[in-house]
Chain A
Amino acid sequence: MIQLTVNGKERQVDVVPDMPLLWVLRDELGITGPKYGCGIAQCGACTVTIDGLPVRSCQARIGLLEGAQVQTIEGMTTKPFRAVQQAWIEHQVPQCGYCQTGQIMQAAALLATTPNPTDDDINAAMAGNLCRCGTYARIRTAIHAAATQLSPTHSTES
């Protein structure tokens, strides 16, 4: 039995220790925000945070995660996440949407460490998240918008 915290709730799972976290989330816990794209960390669709850092959940085996704090898009409440979520809506980023939960998780992680990213910063941080619809330009625009929203000098009344 492995215990971990998922989206603020303590959970116990009785699975083999080499089961990937993505499998646990989707099939054991019914949390389907993280998506399966490739299973080998080449696409980023399964991105979650573990102890606050972005991780491809298809690669994190549950046996490593005793006591871990896991956040999926369903449980995200951080200020960067809310800003990203709003920017994604305003700029109508998704097309098919399949990769977008991973994109959003990675973008929120970027803004948590780099509040005012340049295009190069965004390219570097987001390059591991593939989008077959090619929404990259809108993703970049939305991240800049979220950064502006989060800026200390930003006024919602202006």
Chain B
Amino acid sequence: MKPIRLAMSLATCSQATFVPASFVPAIFVPAILVIATFALVILAFPTPVFGAGNGGQEMPPKGSVSEADGLKAWQRIEAVVTHPRCSNCHVGADNIPMWSGPSFDRPRPHGMNVNAGVSRIGVGTLLCSTCHMTSTEPNDVPHAPPHVGLPWQLAPVEFAWFGKSGAEICQQLKDPARNGGRDALGLIEHLRDDASHHGFVLWGWNPGGNREPVPGTLEVHIADVGLWGAAGQPCPPN
């Protein structure tokens, strides 16, 4: 992969304002517009503050949070991790990203028969980066492929969340074998690190293109992971 160059930052997107004089009429547009209509909820959250952070300072001492409060924090975490902005690319071994959410009448596979393959980045099929540029700026054009500051890819297959219950995902997130070898502090550090790259986590709160963002803010989410971790990562019953 060489599209690392595409990770360079950009000025604010205003692609829709360009009208090239040499255009032939857009003969494909009618067919293309049949594809998804996107959510009408407009982003209303300020960009979270992010940086290297110190997960140790962001998690209360273990045992200082009750199990009941930990479960309440998990409910807010669950609303994030089951949201389409997150779960659509946390898919299983079929390697097919999903399109789902308020603007779809039902969940459906990513358009254009996309399959990210075992590489999870489209090697041998169609590279995610063919359409999803690597950029720290969001792609605000409705229906256009989103950007993040990391090469576009599916989450590792052992992190499959799509279609699973909150209780199942909770068990996954506390299992180092299925969360990248992380304890609660490690999860917070992962969130901070991703945000420092303008990665997929941060994108969830600023997805552009009239997509519905995940609920809350990154800061609230990190605080909830800290509470959940301090409470011993309690999970609801299956």
Interface residues of A (CB under 8 A from B): 16-20, 22-23, 26-27, 32, 35-43, 45, 47, 50-56, 59-61, 63-68, 98-99, 113-114, 121, 123-125, 127-128, 130, 132
Cβ 8 A contact of A38, one of B29, B125, B127: B29
- Whether, in the assembled complex, B238 has its beta carbon less than 8 Å from a beta carbon of chain A, the answer is no
Whose C-beta in chain A lies nearest to the C-beta of B127?
A53
Check B144–A123 contact: CB distance below 8 A.
no
What is the distance, in angstroms, from B154's C-beta to the closest C-beta of chain A? 15
Bound form: Cα–Cα A113–B119 in Å: 14
Q: How far is the CA of A52 from the CA of B112 in the complex (A)?
A: 22
A31 to B2, CA, bound (A): 24
Enumerate 11 A-B pairs (CB-CB under 8 Å) in ascending A order: A18-B15, A37-B26, A38-B32, A39-B141, A40-B142, A41-B145, A55-B133, A59-B132, A61-B15, A113-B124, A132-B31
Interface of A, helix, strand, loop or mixed by DSSP: loop
Pick from A19, A66, A127, A130: contact of B28, CB below 8 A.
A130
Q: Which A residues are CB-close (under 8 A) to B1?
A: 53
Q: Once the chains are docked, how many angstroms separate the CA of A125 from the CA of B22? A: 28
Q: Which of B4-21 contact A (CB under 8 A)?
A: 5-6, 8, 10-15, 18, 20-21
Q: Are B28 and A43 in contact (CB under 8 A)?
A: yes
Determine if A130 and B133 form an interchain contact, defined as CB atoms under 8 angstroms apart.
no
A125: chain B residues within 8 A (beta carbon): 125-126
Are A61 and B133 interface neighbours, CB within 8 A? yes
Contact of A127 among B14, B32, B114 (CB under 8 A): B114
Assess whether A23 is in contact with B20, with CB atoms less than 8 Å apart. yes
How many chain B residues have a CB neighbour from A under 8 Å? 50
Selected from B3, B124, B129, the residue in CB contact (under 8 A) with A114 is B124
On chain B, the residues within 8 Å of A67 by CB distance are 5
Q: Tell whether, in the assembled complex, residue A59 and residue B18 are in contact, meaning their CB atoms are under 8 Å apart.
A: no
Q: How far is the CA of A40 from the CA of B31 in the complex (A)?
A: 13
Contact assessment for A55 and B20 in the assembled complex, using a CB-CB cutoff below 8 Å: no
Which residues of the partner chain B approach A39 to less than 8 Å between Cβ atoms? 15, 26, 141, 144
Complex Cα distance, B130 from A66, in Å, reads 18
| Nearest CB of A to B112, in Å | 4
Determine how close the nearest CB of chain A comes to the CB of B153; give it in whole angstroms: 14
Contact at B14–A42, with CB atoms within 8 Å?
Answer: no
Chain B residue with minimal CB distance to A17?
B11
How close is A97's CB to chain B, nearest CB, in angstroms? 11
CB distance from A102 to the nearest CB of B (A): 11
Q: Are A98 and B27 in contact (CB under 8 A)?
A: yes
Give me 12 other A-B pairs in contact (C-beta within 8 A), A18-B12, A36-B23 excluded.
A18-B10, A18-B15, A37-B29, A40-B141, A43-B28, A45-B28, A51-B5, A59-B132, A99-B28, A125-B126, A128-B114, A132-B31
CA distance A71 to B11 in the complex (A): 24
Instruction: Tell me how far the C-beta of A131 lies from the nearest C-beta in chain B, rounded to whole angstroms.
Output: 9
Q: Which of A22, A43, A55, A130 is in CB contact (< 8 Å) with B130?
A: A55
